[in-house]
Amino acid sequence: MGRVIVVGLGPGDERFIVEHTRALIAANLHRFVRTRRHPGAGLIGDAVSFDDEYETAGTFGDVYTAISDRLVAAAAEHGQVLYAVPGSPLVLERSVEELRARTDVDTEVHPAMSFLDVAWSVLGVDPVDAGVRLVDGHRFATEAAGERGPLLVAHCHNQRVLSDIKLSVEDPGDEPVVVLQRLGTVDESVSEVSWWDLDREVDADHLTSLYIPALASPVAVDLQRFAELVSILRRECPWDSVQTHQSLRRHLIEESYELIEAIDALPSSTESGAAMEADVSGAAMEADMSLCEELGDVLFQVFIHSEIAAQQGRFTLADVARGVHDKLRDRHPHVFGDASADDLVGRWEHDKRAEKARDSVFDGIAAGLPALSFAAKVQRKATALGVVSAFREAGDHVIDADGNAAPIDEETMGATLFAVVEAAIAVGVDAEDALRLAAERARDRARRLELDGADLSVESLQGLVGNT
């Protein structure tokens, strides 16, 4: 059985490589180095690098297994080989972990200076007194689960890792993150960045680590585990790996309708929000489980669309979460600011139009909506501009199927709509197309009046439909 002598190249340039390591390097002719991308790798001289494994392997786990296999084979051939790794072989070095777990090779590990020693020095932190937890950036969500800090996060070598770390925390708080880069070199850099700018302002490299002093909430392990699962499916599942935004479109529609069906199956209640007490009956619990499952299916659609975009370098799931967070916060000044709720509807439309750089409140209504939903959107936008509802003018009454004026309620409205569909069929008109055409006429006329600066308060919804 061959032997592998494992040494560490220290945290930075050659000045941090101890004399004992230098002697072992000189004493062994058959040398291997995990990567040449380290400031101290020049001391190793003529050695075989495993950088090629990083270029061809599918995952880091595959890289470390390949390294282990090649070292065992070389040790068997030469009797003894030297293997040099960045930093200390005993700190976050998974390739050494794999070697030590094998029974077909004798692994001899020699201690070396770690990047941790330099990190504590530049941070001015005693890790024992502060209770710092050391975490691998690639396994942040699982290793830091439930933690609030302080955390020192290593192996933050690209924007994807930074994005995954950022996504793992629901409420990071306001304290900035300390970014440690190229410690122990002439290019050493220590800076601070806000949590939400981690993957935007930090130019990550293979010598990047993070120090997180504190978090307002623990790491959200379940969401990150789900994100990792979707990423694996995208890489390895024959079906998921070939999907596009366009091919997934019908699945999103189907899952959305199934979610609506689950919502409709919930027990009715006159209560709402936090005041609602849980219904613990068997039927209610079954409905809750169905709703939870359907929400998960829709969530998967959000995650896989974000994963596709991330693979193409366009945006990440963290960008999606941050974007909707900031948008909702900005659109609720009555909650997060000093605005009142009295003019909420008008202000909402004004702010949304400014945010999207739209000319009209009608811009952005999805053309693919079902006609009834499309018409409702148009009417709500028109109402926000001051258009008078003809039904409100008539005293909240509608003409029912028998031609009588009846108060508006769910049953009457449903019967009225049903009668309209029946009438459309009788005269050979497609009710869906007819309603969409009427809604488009109302939208176009209201938009023209809006852009012309006309007083829309004198208009009615019926007038908008009838005057194109």
Q: What is the pLDDT of residue 50?
A: 92
Do the beta carbons of residue 64 and residue 96 sit within 8 Å? no
Task: Report pLDDT for 191.
Answer: 93
**Spatial separation of the C-alpha atoms in residues 105 and 73, rounded to whole Å:** 9
Q: Is 325 helix (H, G, I), strand (E, B) or coil?
A: helix
Q: Alpha-carbon distance 63 to 71, whole Å?
A: 12
What's the pLDDT at 341? Answer: 62
pLDDT tens-digit series, residues 151-209:
999 989 888 889 888 888 877 888 899 999 998 888 899 999 998 888 888 999 888 99
Predicted pLDDT of residue 270: 45
- pLDDT of 8 reads 93
Residue-averaged pLDDT of the chain:
83
Q: Is the dihedral of CA 274, 276, 281, 285 positive or negative?
A: negative
One-character DSSP codes across 273-308: GGGPPPP-SHHHHHHHHHHHHHHHHHHHHHHHHHHH
What's at 226, amino acid-wise? F
Q: What angle do CA 389, 390, 393 make, to 5 degrees?
A: 95
Residue range 257-303, pLDDT digits in tens: 899 888 888 887 644 554 455 555 677 788 889 999 999 999 999 99
Q: What is the dihedral of CA 406, 409, 412, 417, to 10 degrees?
A: 120
Which residues, 6 or more positions from 163, have their beta carbon under 8 angstroms from its beta carbon?
198, 199, 310, 316, 317, 318, 319
Yes or no: say if 47 and 26 are a contact pair by the CB < 8 Å rule.
no
Q: What is the pLDDT, as a whole number, of residue 143? A: 78
Residue 244: per-residue pLDDT: 94
Report which of 180, 181, 154 is spatially closest to residue 165, judged by C-alpha positions.
154
Instruction: Tokens for 230, please give them.
Output: 């979707």
Beta strands 208-212; 177-181: pairing state: antiparallel
Q: Identify the structural domains of the chain with CATH numbers, from first to last.
A: 3-113 (3.40.1010.10), 117-219 (3.30.950.10), 222-269+279-330 (1.10.287.1080), 344-466 (no CATH)
Residue found by looking up tokens 């609030």 in the block: 148
Supply the pLDDT for residue 468: 45
Give residue 433's pLDDT. Answer: 87
- How far is it, in rounded angstroms, from Cα 374 to Cα 368? 8
Tell the residue number behind the tokens 């290019």, with chain if given.
Answer: 187
Strand 397-399 to 208-212 pairing: unpaired
Residue ranges for the chain with pLDDT beneath 70? 218-221, 269-281, 340-359, 387-406, 455-463, 466-468
